[in-house]
């Protein structure tokens, strides 16, 4: 997990990521705010991938905000969002994904979610 955060810091400093060009185009086309929450644990081998993708999406689009939440540190949020498995991705308070999700599938959910913005934004 620590290496993912270092990679994210490097990506932010460069202002770009290694996402596919197709994903970048989809993210640049987003017009409404999207909030991604990725629930993780420190022992999950798949969580760094989901967390890294969420952060990369936020780097590539000013409309995307990404938070990574360690469930052990914030159990009240884990309870609020009924986290039973990780990584759990919540997009705009309305769409949920559990498990490892490929970049292409993840970005499609983000694009779809911006069409129905969160009531909390």
| pTM recorded for the entire structure | 0.88
Q: Two tokens at 62?
A: 């000013």
What CATH number should be reported for the domain holding residue 51? Answer: 3.40.30.10
Q: Residue 103 sits in which domain range?
A: 33-109
Question: Is residue 115 situated within a structural domain?
Answer: no
Question: Is residue 28 situated within a structural domain?
Answer: no
What whole-number distance in Å separates Cα of residue 49 and Cα of residue 43? 13
Question: Is residue 69 situated within a structural domain?
Answer: yes
Question: Is residue 8 situated within a structural domain?
Answer: no
Q: What is the model's pLDDT at position 10? A: 72
Q: Which residues contact 2 (CB under 8 A, 6 or more apart)?
A: none
Percent of the chain clearing pLDDT 70 (strictly above): 88
pLDDT tens per residue, range 37-87: 999 999 999 999 999 999 999 999 999 999 999 999 999 999 999 999 999
Q: What confidence category does residue 121 fall into, taking pLDDT thresholds of 50, 70 and 90?
A: very low
């Amino acid at each position: 997990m620590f290496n993912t955060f270092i990679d994210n810091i490097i990506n932010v400093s460069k202002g770009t990521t290694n996402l596919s060009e197709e994903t970048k185009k989809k993210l640049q086309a987003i017009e409404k705010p999207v909030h991604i929450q990725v629930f993780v644990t420190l022992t999950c081998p798949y969580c760094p991938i989901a967390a890294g993708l969420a952060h990369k999406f936020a780097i590539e689009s000013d409309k995307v905000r990404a938070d990574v939440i360690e469930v052990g540190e914030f159990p009240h949020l884990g309870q609020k969002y009924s986290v039973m498995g990780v990584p759990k991705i919540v997009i705009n308070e309305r769409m949920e994904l559990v498990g490892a999700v490929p970049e292409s599938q993840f970005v499609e959910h983000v694009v779809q979610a911006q069409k129905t913005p969160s009531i909390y934004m």
